[in-house]
Amino acid sequence: MADVSMDTIVNLAKRRGFIFPGSEIYGGLANSWDYGPLGVELKNNIKQAWWKKFVTSRLDMVGIDSALIMNPKVWEASGHIATFSDPLVECKNCHERYRADQIDTSAPCQKCGEKNTFTDPAAFNLMLKTYLGPKEDATAKVYLRPETAQAMFVDFAQVLATSRKRVPFGIAQAGKMFRNEITPGNFIFRQREFDVMELEYFVHPSQWEQHFTTWLATMHEWISECGIQTEKTHDLEVSEEDRAHYSSRTVDIEFDYPFGRKELYGLAYRSDFDLKNHSEHSGKELTYTDPSTNEKYTPHVIEPTFGLDRTVLAVLVSAYDEEVGKDGETRVVLRLKPHLAPIKAAILPLMKKEELVAVARPLAEQLAAQFPVEYDETQSIGKRYRRQDEIGTPYCITVDYDSLEDKAVTVRDRDTMVQERISIEKLPEYLRGKIG
Ligand code: GAP
């Protein structure tokens, strides 16, 4: 596999309609990104695969989809109002702000060049604020959620009562969250609004370590199932001073992005920090009574968290490949896992001729009812193959003049470029078997 630069990934993503800058006709908006027609399919496929693996295919998991704006008391109890902040310094000359832990405060200001100019670090809360309703005063102030986790704690008793699960069990959620990041950047790596898939796994306090170990292994299993290069992932035991305020142990899974080794996912041991705090602040009991022993306790929590946009980035980086063919031409190919590929098959009449289109078009319509396909009849077949390789389509199906006689098509495999003749009648079943 070729090592790929960020420029190559960003260009491919834009050129082919995976991801492009948001609000671009107005000059964009500070690192906001829009997922285009192919990007939204890729992102949804990842989210669905995650939900299937971590929620619906397990008997010990349930999901929720909570409101993005929660009662502000949630963020008081969770500690986010008091401690969810980064240290900021400001240039006294041009008032540019920087994260104190990311710059050398004895160097000149990067914007105006002034020396010895920085203020002492001050805490800057990362929660995005807005007002609910017609009054814009303190009583109407609310926050866009900075993590999806809190709803799983706040709804704990409700979910426990209605789902009738027994500890150990987990609650999962996937959705948007918001952080007023000081230095967004590196494409979709650090944004101010982004998607996360995470779960809170409730366990007996004495068993947290074994569950932690199991979840770390399951996270690595997922990484490999996504086709993310496992040799580029590394576990980092996060030191106490670098851990989030709620965590008693954190292992970050880092990934070697083209811009360096940075966090992909996190696994935190949140102990009973959240349930206890919400119980104290709300006055509601958030405990569990074991039906066989009658032991009553506050469950402890293991939290595996998966940034969805970072998954998309790691998947693209891992799937990107370049190959020089016998003709000396470079073939760009996205070796996406078939279940994640935005388009599963492309149906291509060899030429734009009425008799070929008459077979190819209905075939494309028939297949589209089962999985996402593209129909493409313009340009040379070579160019059309190249486009499909670049967007990661696992199979190209060519309808040629022989098809009119033998009622079969040529199926070209994206990775091996091997071509196989398959009868049109058996094609849907053949593709379903390959795509999974
Ligand atoms: N509930 C735990 C939690 O929120 P986090 O490590 O702060 O943990 C979760 O964030 C995940 O979200 C990270 O592991 C990362 O994958 C992703 N993430 C964090 N900040 C991000 C940002 N600004 N842009 C995109 N993804 C981000």
Q: How many whole angstroms separate alpha carbon 341 and alpha carbon 436?
A: 12
Say if residue 2's pLDDT is above 80. Answer: no
Place of tokens 């989809």: 65
In this model, does residue 102 exceed pLDDT 90?
no
**What atom of ligand 1 comes closest to residue 181's alpha carbon?**
23
- For residue 145, how far is its CA from the centre of ligand 1 (angstroms)? 12
- 200 Cβ closer than 6 Å to some ligand 1 atom: no
Residues 359 and 250 occupy one common structural domain: no
Whether the pLDDT of residue 349 is over 90: the answer is yes
Q: How many helices (H) and strands (E) does the chain have?
A: 13, 23
- Segment 287-302 mean pLDDT: 98
Q: 309 CB less than 6 Å from ligand 1?
A: yes
Is 13 within a domain?
yes
Domain of residue 385 covers 343-435
Strands (E), 239-378: 249-257, 260-271, 288-289, 296-297, 300-307, 320-324, 330-334, 345-349, 373-375
Of 128, 145, 257, 305, the one to substitute when testing ligand 1's pocket (max ligand atoms within 8 A of C-beta) is 305
Cβ of residue 252 lying under 6 Å from some atom of ligand 1: no
- Distance from the alpha carbon of residue 320 to the mean position of ligand 1, in angstroms: 24
Q: Are residues 311 and 348 in the same domain?
A: no
Domain annotation covers residue 33:
yes
What CATH number corresponds to the domain at position 427? 3.40.50.800
Number of domains in the chain: 2
Here the tokens at position 279 are 């119980």
- Segment 241-253 shows an average pLDDT of 96
What's the whole-number mean pLDDT along residues 398-415?
Answer: 97
pLDDT band of 61, cuts 50, 70, 90? very high
Residue 150 is assigned to a structural domain of this protein: yes
Nearest CA to ligand 1 atom 22: 190
Distance 196 CA to ligand 1 centre (A): 7
| Co-location of 257 and 307 in the same domain | yes
Place of tokens 């028939």: 366
Pair 362, 309 in one domain:
no
Look at residue 251 in the predicted model and tell me its pLDDT: 98
Confidence check: pLDDT of 30 > 90: no
Strands in 85-90's sheet, in edge-to-edge order, are 97-99, 85-90, 122-125
Q: How does residue 183 score in pLDDT terms, banded at 50, 70 and 90?
A: confident
CATH code of residue 39: 3.30.930.10
